[in-house]
């Protein structure tokens, strides 16, 4: 555990989120009031998603209770931690059970009741203990643990050791689209089929894929069978009348739900979530004398009396609120905002008219300059910026000064040829070096139409250094866009953790844009930082950072991230028309 004095920025948020999460698990194993358990878990999620830095808010309980999900009790705990660097309740709680016990909750099929039983009656205190006892068959005497259950536990343990947990959104999307196509080809009677869950909400990583199928009752068996028989299925986790779960070879879990066509909207809404959004919708239904479940919105007193169920908009309408796009359904303030008419018209892929960050064969791209330009023309863009890597990116064939100048010449030459079809901007993705200096001198940057400044190396810097590094880069008068500010790679590398509020404040003052890098590896800015950017008046740039022709399709993920932040097209510079964009670019150099 880090001492609080050196825990910086949102490291504090993460630390406190981890503690509340842990506390909720311990309380659950101790069979505490389930609503109390849920409160700690909810608080943990709230802190993880909090754009603001708790260290900045400080031990001010009045300010802390303003955070949704934090009440008086938890605010006092947070304040205690921020003030003293410790939390007595946490220490006490953690001392009350063996430290290895909460980790058992991660094992599929193992819940708090069974863990408590294993602990109290078999002396199991950790995953290791469980493995040993499972191996020598000494658990069969425990009540409620038959041979089947033990076998399933063995399987879960093997899986937990070998497999990762969350998948990047493009991996989940590929699986979802493939499975949908296969089922449509191979099964009879599918009336509608959609993916739901966090994939539909556009989260940056996905735990499992949910598919919702509308069909008549007579087709259920066949569709379930076709699903279980999909070639990549390695394990059927469960299969009943309306629900089947399988695990694919890649490790990803896919759930299939079968519903009647007239219930499709309710099921789609329910399984799209988020859980928190659903809870709020249900509470809203109850306040209005109705009840909502995956089969529909019904009269509370007469559940047979369906009010809405066939599609999502009719359900929202009956709840007296505008339809809410899935990307916003995170259970924050979206329902209240929708009610007040404050939800913006969210940006769409069609609104994007310019690509402002792309690579060619000059550095590490696969496309030639002309091929890339042609693709951009096909996509209907009015502007394409060519931004190859700068000299320090040796492994990516970064351009030294002489090569960059020749490249610029080539771009300008092609630009005049294609005048009237597309505007080509000669630019660079310039490395922000570890000390915040840029990889080219200003005399060179000055000659470019656009400069995307991004960090690529020294990403393990502490938060303080990362912050001053980015601030220094933003202050450079020739930077146009701050590219993928943290340098993270999802499921692979955490990246830097700068004080994003300070970075965005500087960007706002300088008048430059900050990128949402649409690569599913990056999605950087992430959603809640993009939301913070909007609140602070910083323009967003949604760029694919394309290295290959397929990469241009990643735009969808970047747009979804922007939508999750509540961005409309006025917040995104790629939506400006050609003239407006030129004017904006000029303004960054004023």
Q: Which residues bind DNA (CB under 7 A)?
A: 33, 35-36, 38-40, 42-43, 65, 68-75, 105, 107-115, 143-150, 152, 197, 208, 210, 238-243, 253, 255, 271, 275, 278-279, 282-283, 286-289, 291, 293-295, 336, 339
Taking the complex as a whole, how short is the minimal distance between the CB of residue 98 and DNA, in angstroms? Answer: 17
Residue 546's DSSP bridge partners are 358
Taking the complex as a whole, how short is the minimal distance between the CB of residue 501 and DNA, in angstroms? Answer: 22
Burial class (CB in 10 A: 0-12, 13-18, 19+), 80: middle
Taking the complex as a whole, how short is the minimal distance between the CB of residue 125 and DNA, in angstroms? Answer: 16
Taking the complex as a whole, how short is the minimal distance between the CB of residue 147 and DNA, in angstroms? Answer: 5
Taking the complex as a whole, how short is the minimal distance between the CB of residue 537 and DNA, in angstroms? Answer: 27
What's the gap between Cα 333 and its chain centre?
A: 18
- Pairing relation of β-strands 205-206 and 540-543? unpaired
User: Do 40 and 20 contact (CB within 8 A), yes or no?
Assistant: yes
Q: Secondary structure of 34-102 in the HEC alphabet?
A: HHHHHHHHHHHHHHHCCCCCHHHHCCCHHHHCCCCCCCHHHHHHHHHHHHHCCCHHHHHHHHCCCCCCH
Nearest to DNA of 310, 462 (CB atom) = 310
Taking the complex as a whole, how short is the minimal distance between the CB of residue 425 and DNA, in angstroms? Answer: 45
Nearest to DNA of 71, 99 (CB atom) = 71
Nearest to DNA of 112, 487 (CB atom) = 112
Taking the complex as a whole, how short is the minimal distance between the CB of residue 213 and DNA, in angstroms? Answer: 12
Nearest to DNA of 50, 533 (CB atom) = 50
Nearest to DNA of 247, 564 (CB atom) = 247
Nearest to DNA of 143, 164 (CB atom) = 143
Nearest to DNA of 118, 482 (CB atom) = 118
Query: CA-based Rg of the chain, rounded to a whole angstrom?
Result: 26
The token pair that represents 107 in the structure block = 């094992």
Helix then strand then coil, in percent of the chain rounded to 5, is 50, 15, 35
Answer positive or negative: Cα dihedral of 207, 213, 217, 222: negative
Q: Which letter does DSSP use for residue 331 in this model?
A: S
Which of 516, 512, 508, 509 has its CA nearest to residue 485?
Answer: 516
DSSP 449-475: SEEEEE--S-TT--HHHHHHHHHHHHH
Taking the complex as a whole, how short is the minimal distance between the CB of residue 72 and DNA, in angstroms? Answer: 5
Nearest to DNA of 69, 436 (CB atom) = 69
Nearest to DNA of 186, 337 (CB atom) = 337
Nearest to DNA of 40, 557 (CB atom) = 40
User: Do 199 and 164 contact (CB within 8 A), yes or no?
Assistant: no
Question: How far apart are the C-alpha atoms of 52 and 44, rounded to whole Å?
Answer: 14
- N-term to C-term CA, the chain: 47
Alpha-helical (H) ranges within 369-460 are: 369-378, 401-418, 442-445
Taking the complex as a whole, how short is the minimal distance between the CB of residue 296 and DNA, in angstroms? Answer: 10
Taking the complex as a whole, how short is the minimal distance between the CB of residue 250 and DNA, in angstroms? Answer: 16
Helices 127-135 and 147-162 cross at an angle (nearest 10°) of: 130
User: Do 328 and 564 contact (CB within 8 A), yes or no?
Assistant: yes
CA angle 467, 473, 475 (to 5 degrees): 105
Taking the complex as a whole, how short is the minimal distance between the CB of residue 512 and DNA, in angstroms? Answer: 36
Residues 6+ apart with CB under 8 A from 336: none
Nearest to DNA of 242, 468 (CB atom) = 242
């Amino acid at each position: 555990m880090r001492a609080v004095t050196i825990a910086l920025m949102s490291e504090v948020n993460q630390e406190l989120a981890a503690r509340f999460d842990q506390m909720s698990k311990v309380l659950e194993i101790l069979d505490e009031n389930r609503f109390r358990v849920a409160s700690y878990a909810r608080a943990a999620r709230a802190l993880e998603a909090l754009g603001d830095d708790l260290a900045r808010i400080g031990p001010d309980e009045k300010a802390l209770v303003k955070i949704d999900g934090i009440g008086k009790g938890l605010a006092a705990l947070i304040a205690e931690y921020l003030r003293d660097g410790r939390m007595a309740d946490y220490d006490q709680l953690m001392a009350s059970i063996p430290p290895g016990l909460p980790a058992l909750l991660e094992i599929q099929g193992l819940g708090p009741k069974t863990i408590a039983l294993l602990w109290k009656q078999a002396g199991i205190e950790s995953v290791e203990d469980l493995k040993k006892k499972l191996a020598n068959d000494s658990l069969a005497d425990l009540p409620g643990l038959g041979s089947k259950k033990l076998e399933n536990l063995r399987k879960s343990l093997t899986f937990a050791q070998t497999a990762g947990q969350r998948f990047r959104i493009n991996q989940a999307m590929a699986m979802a689209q493939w499975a949908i196509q296969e089922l449509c080809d191979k099964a009879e009677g599918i009336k509608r089929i959609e993916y739901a869950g966090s994939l539909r909400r556009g989260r940056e990583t996905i735990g499992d894929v949910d598919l919702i199928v509308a069909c008549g009752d007579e087709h259920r068996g066949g569709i379930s069978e076709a699903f279980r028989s999909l070639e990549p299925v390695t394990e059927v986790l469960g299969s009943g009348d309306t629900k089947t779960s399988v695990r694919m070879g890649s490790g990803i879990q896919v759930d299939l739900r079968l519903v009647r066509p007239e219930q499709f909207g309710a099921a789609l809404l329910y399984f799209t979530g988020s859980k928190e959004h659903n809870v709020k919708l249900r509470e809203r239904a109850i306040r209005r004398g109705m009840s909502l479940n995956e089969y529909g919105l019904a009269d509370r007193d007469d559940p047979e009396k369906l009010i809405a169920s066939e599609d999502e908009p009719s359900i929202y309408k009956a709840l007296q609120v505008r339809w809410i796009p899935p990307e916003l359904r995170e259970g924050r303030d979206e329902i209240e905002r929708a009610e007040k008419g404050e939800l913006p018209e969210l940006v769409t892929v069609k609104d994007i008219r310019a690509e402002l960050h792309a690579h060619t064969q000059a550095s590490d791209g696969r496309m030639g300059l002309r091929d890339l330009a042609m693709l951009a023309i096909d996509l209907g863009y009015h502007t394409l910026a060519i931004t190859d890597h700068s000299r320090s990116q040796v492994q990516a064939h970064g351009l030294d000064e002489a090569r960059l100048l020749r490249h610029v010449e080539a771009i300008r030459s092609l630009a005049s040829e294609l005048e009237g079809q597309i505007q080509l901007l000669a630019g660079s993705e310039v490395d922000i070096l570890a000390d915040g200096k840029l990889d080219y001198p200003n005399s060179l940057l000055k000659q470019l139409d656009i400069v995307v400044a991004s960090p690529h190396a020294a990403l393990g810097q502490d938060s303080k250094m990362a912050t001053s590094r980015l601030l220094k880069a933003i202050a450079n008068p020739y930077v146009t866009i701050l590219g993928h500010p943290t340098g993270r790679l999802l499921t692979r590398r955490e990246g830097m953790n700068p004080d994003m509020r300070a970075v965005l404040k500087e960007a706002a003052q300088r008048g430059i844009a900050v990128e949402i890098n649409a690569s599913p590896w990056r999605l950087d800015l992430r959603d809640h930082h993009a939301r913070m950017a909007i609140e602070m008046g910083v323009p967003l740039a949604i760029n694919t950072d394309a290295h290959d022709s397929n990469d241009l399709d990643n735009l969808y993920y970047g747009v979804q991230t922007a939508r999750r932040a509540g961005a409309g097209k006025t917040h995104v510079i790629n939506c400006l028309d050609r003239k407006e964009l030129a004017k904006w670019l000029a303004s960054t150099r004023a």
